[in-house]
A = this chain, B = another copy of it.
Amino acid sequence: MRMSTLFSRTLREAPNGADCKGYEYLLRAGFIRQMGAGIFSLLPFGFNATRKIEKVIREEMNAIGGQEILMPLVNPADIWKETGRFYSIDKEMSRFQDRGGRDMVLAMTHEECVTDVARGEIDSYKRLPQLVYQIQTKWRDDPRPRAGLIRVREFTMKDSYSFDRDQEGLDAVYADHYKAYFRIFSRCGLPVIVVGADSGMMGGKISHEYMYLSPIGEDTIITCPECGYTANRQVATFSKEYYTEEMKPTEKVLTPDCKTIEDLCAFLKIEKRQTAKAVFMVGTFINAENGEEQEKLIVGVIRGDMDVEENKLQNAAKANSLRPAHVEEILAGGMVPGFGSPIGAHKDVLVIVDDSVAKSNNLVAGANEEGYHLLNTNFERDYSGMVADIASATSGYTCPTCKGSLVSSKGVEVGNIFQLGTRYSESMNCYFQDVDGVRRPVIMGSYGIGVGRMLACLAENFNDDKGLALPITVAPYQVHLVSLVKDIEVGEKIYKDLSDSGIEVLFDDRKESAGVKFADADLIGLPIRITVGNRSLKEGKVEVKLRSNLEETLSYDLENIVGEIKELIEKLTSDINNNVVEKDWVKA
């Protein structure tokens, strides 16, 4: 590619809205352009890099037996009504009516689609197992698009779907993905960790997320540096201490101006762990059959030394979504904000009690009366409710596995794998006749990788104060050829020779100054740079630099240039491929 004819241009300044370094550079180098909130175009560099990522994904998916297909983005709503997700997914899923007035949805994932196809193809155990995948456009109306391709509304995703006879089959293909994903990310140069995760709207039980650790991430990951325990905070557990003692009688005490746990503890001269605090939420519950919505007040009760993890609370409540309750809603539930507890709450309030509270005694809790608290409240004696782990893990807490100290970090989810089980096959009647003649629902799994998000994370991980420095396996071109001499012929010959031998070259043949050309080369950041300059040319040489080490200049004979560059490309490539992460899933 010649820079003189390149469609995209580089930008000297970061455009408005570039809220992280990787995004800024992808914009400035001309990889991507924004069209609207969370909507982007890939320009030639971005397209090339994406195509390389996709090639790696295809190779690894094919290696585990994946068959590539392509399903539609626009789906008839009927199949989404079959599983109930037409109703249970909120505004994230965009809908419209076609000219005939039929409900259509823009698919944000393809469990419904693929199950609809599979039920036509799979009738017998003889046709199992199956694994299909697609690399396809999706739309998700994210309320807060940000950070360029990190959080978008339209995106390209690799999604695969497995179909098995039994759990053993699902475990095997799940393990295949677990391993293949590490290979995919590491072949592209992206460091990731795998974390135990919540299944969320997907249903199913076991799931993992692949996280690129970065302060720009919005996911919180809890890890144990000692034993390697990792989980998304949404589901991370930790080892809790319980404080049991003999139950004492409840006593109402005046606690003026004690609106926070800190105030209360200072006033009563107790520790936070001796209190129970209440969190008031309203859950939405959707009837999957007809889409009818119902709201319910939920009170989560947790010990004062911990916080409620909303996702756990939502899962425990089996709610479709949660929102903070309004003051009037809390009062209507028989509780008083600031001095609230489930004691005396109306019976239609859903009470969910963390085990830290259930297993501790004599906690101070709100008296549901302005200015008053109750001493010595005890679960089951004074109030009842569902017991669940609804506590949020954080740094310093104790590892649930090895008793080490947990660490909290930020990450971006670039892939996920789910064991769906029969959630979709049962609701959509995707059954097969087993070897014993019995009809059984197919056991499914679902596996995703965000292609554009991978590019964004790579850009975030590989940059410096001059621009991008993407790994050779994903850079849009391998070589940046900069001609600084008046006579373009030498550059033209190198361009032709390299291109003819299959090397991908971006040739800066523009009539620009050396300063402009180098600044652009630094910004675009192709791994290998060849500079054709007057001085070295006199000695029959050209200068070569690696983008990853601009300090060092290599000098190659002009006549050996093709061979030398080939060797360099091979070296850079094998540096990455020799470090491919091989990691197996061990079923708990």
Contact A121 B5 (CB under 8 A): no
Contact B121 A71 (CB under 8 A): no
Q: Which segment of A137-145, A197-205, A461-469 sits at the interface?
A: A137-145
Question: In the complex, what residue of chain B is closest to A118 when comparing beta carbons?
Answer: B7
Choose one: B9, B50, B94; the contact of A96 (CB below 8 Å).
B94
**Chain B residues whose C-beta falls within 8 Å of the C-beta of A48 in the assembled complex:** 68
* A119 CB to nearest B CB, Å: 11
Q: Which segment of A34-42, A278-286, A389-397 sits at the interface?
A: A34-42
* A43 CB to nearest B CB, Å: 5
Choose one: B39, B67, B113; the contact of A44 (CB below 8 Å).
B67
Question: In the complex, what residue of chain B is closest to A153 when comparing beta carbons?
Answer: B74
Given A41-B72, A43-B69, the answer on whether A117 and B50 have CB atoms closer than 8 Å is no
Chain A residues 64 to 105 lying within 8 A of chain B, measured CB to CB, are: 65, 67-76, 78-79, 91-92, 94-96, 98-100, 104
A307 interface contact, C-beta 8 A: no
Contact A74 B41 (CB under 8 A): no
Interface digits, A37-61 against B, CB 8 Å rule (1 contact, 0 not)?
A: 1011111101110100000000000
CA distance A91 to B581 in the complex (A): 51
CA distance A6 to B102 in the complex (A): 33
**Chain B residues whose C-beta falls within 8 Å of the C-beta of A47 in the assembled complex:** 68-70
CA distance A75 to B40 in the complex (A): 10
Question: In the complex, what residue of chain B is closest to A510 when comparing beta carbons?
Answer: B126
Contact A130 B7 (CB under 8 A): yes
Question: In the complex, what residue of chain B is closest to A116 when comparing beta carbons?
Answer: B35
Contact B141 A36 (CB under 8 A): no
Contact B98 A141 (CB under 8 A): yes
Number of copies: 2
A132 interface contact, C-beta 8 A: yes
Choose one: B68, B76, B91, B143; the contact of A36 (CB below 8 Å).
B76
**Chain B residues whose C-beta falls within 8 Å of the C-beta of A30 in the assembled complex:** 121
Contact A141 B75 (CB under 8 A): no
**Chain B residues whose C-beta falls within 8 Å of the C-beta of A141 in the assembled complex:** 98-99
Could you tell me how many residues of chain A have their Cβ less than 8 Å away from some Cβ of chain B?
Answer: 60
A35, A104, A137, most chain B CB atoms within 10 A? A35
A33 interface contact, C-beta 8 A: yes
Given A96-B95, A99-B143, the answer on whether A41 and B154 have CB atoms closer than 8 Å is no
Choose one: B40, B68, B94; the contact of A72 (CB below 8 Å).
B40
**Chain B residues whose C-beta falls within 8 Å of the C-beta of A99 in the assembled complex:** 91-92, 141, 143
Question: In the complex, what residue of chain B is closest to A77 when comparing beta carbons?
Answer: B36
* A117 CB to nearest B CB, Å: 5
Contact A73 B137 (CB under 8 A): yes
Chain A residues 1 to 53 lying within 8 A of chain B, measured CB to CB, are: 1, 5-9, 30, 33, 35-37, 39-44, 46-48, 50
Residues of A at the B interface (CB closer than 8 Å) are 1, 5-9, 30, 33, 35-37, 39-44, 46-48, 50, 65, 67-76, 78-79, 91-92, 94-96, 98-100, 104, 106, 113, 116-117, 120-121, 127, 130, 132, 136-137, 139, 141, 143, 153-154, 156
A-B contacts, 8 listed (Cβ < 8 Å): A9-B121, A9-B127, A35-B116, A37-B100, A39-B74, A40-B72, A41-B72, A74-B139
